[in-house]
Amino acid sequence: MHYLGGIITLIMACSVVSADIYRSVDAQGNEVFSERTHSSAEKAERHPSSYRYRVRLKRVIDGDTLELESGEKIRLIGLNTPEVESRFTQQQAGGRQAKQWLNTTLRSPVLFIEYDQQLYDKYGRRLAHCFLDNGDYINARLLETGHAMLTLIPPNLRYAERLIVAQNQAESKEIGIWSMPAYQSKTLADFTSGVSYRGWQRWQLTVKSISRGKQNTTLLVTDKVSIQIANRHLPLFDGLDRFVGQQLEVRGWISRRDEQHIIRLVHPSAIILL
């Protein structure tokens, strides 16, 4: 088990107001986390890290990643910011602004972090909600100011509703990424334009049919474009059949294999019914 390096001071043992998360196992043996309960589901035990911890910031790596004085890297939960230029990534529109905003906002090195259900991402970074001394919720502020895109990933859904509201505010004001040409909604024609769209995008699509498999449920758009949802996440999605024949805006990342374009979703906040 990993431990946060250095001395971490427990600040508060407050009960967090949020929806309960339930855990069950599907027919394929996959763990499923959902805000809805059913006969075979059990309430997921809250990790002790629902408390907030006092830490010290060393540096801002980019708009959604911090390094603490302990050397631990923190990845902010519930959002994604555009990439900044590095040895491994090309700069994306809005990446520099997001990092600048975070640097300015985190003037004091003292922060308070709160963990959720899943503690680490696949890169070994701590997943956390970040707060200032005055209670400001940094994850939500990044979304409110238009510097980040909502990216909810189960089971870390403690502040999901708050983050959704924060993004809606920025989107309605058309500020930050919502005013940038790089993130305007694209259509099916853009799939065949020859342009390689990297990073988070918005796509206007019409679902033609739904195909249900053992591992995934696929919303078919064309023979070359589809939206895919792992069946373990289906409890979060309410009534997929209502999307058939409807125009949607789907938000996220595209993966491409030969001529196939797939947008994989894990939370319904990434689907907007137009």
| Residues classed as catalytic | 75, 83, 125
Please choose, from the candidates 111, 123, 271, the residue with its C-alpha nearest in 3D space to the C-alpha of residue 206: 271
Give the Cα-Cα-Cα angle 23, 40, 228 (nearest 5 degrees). 55
Q: What is the DSSP string of the chain?
A: ----SS--EEEE-PPP-----EEEE-TTS-EEEESS--TT-EEPPPPGGGSEEEEEEEEEEETTEEEETTS-EEEETTEE-PPPP-SS----TTHHHHHHHHHHHT-SSEEEEE--S--B-TTSPEEEEEE-TT--BHHHHHHHTTSSEE---TT--TTHHHHHHHHHHHHHHT-GGGG-GGGS-B-HHHHTSS----SSEEEEEEB-EEEE-SSEEEEESSSSEEEEEEGGGGGGS--GGGGBT-EEEEEE-EEEETTEEEEEESSGGGEEE-
